[in-house]
Amino acid sequence: MYSINPTPHEIGKELAKRHKALRKQLKLSQSVMAERSGVSLGSLKRFETTGQISLESLLKLAHLLDRLEDFKLVFQPKEDLGNIEDLFSTK
């Protein structure tokens, strides 16, 4: 199936790629990252290889990297802009 929008698998792989780059930028080994975050080394390796990880483990990694705030917008209701035209109408 072809689509302009990325698939969940593609997003997972991209998150894993960014995580790995950030981990390396901070000069943290996988084992140190796993120990400090409370995520098993196997889960961390699987994530960086396949993009697959549990939500709880992903949040633990984000917390360790001081990136937990990035998740605040996930599933946030969008503003209803349906009545925006009413603001500009000259009734």
3-state secondary structure 14-83: HHHHHHHHHHHHCCCCHHHHHHHHCCCHHHHHHHHHHCCCCHHHHHHHHHHCCCHHHHHHCCCCCCCCCC
Q: What is the pLDDT of residue 82?
A: 63
Residue 36, pLDDT above cutoff 90? yes
Tokens 């633990």, located at residue = 60
Is the residue at 80 inside a domain? no
48: containing domain: 8-66
> Tell me, what CATH number does 12's domain have?
1.10.260.40
For residue 9, the 8-state DSSP code is H
| CB-CB contact of 48 with 29 (8 Å) | no
Is the residue at 22 inside a domain? yes
**pTM for the model:** 0.79
Q: What is the pLDDT of residue 79?
A: 76
Domain count of the chain?
1
Is the residue at 75 inside a domain? no
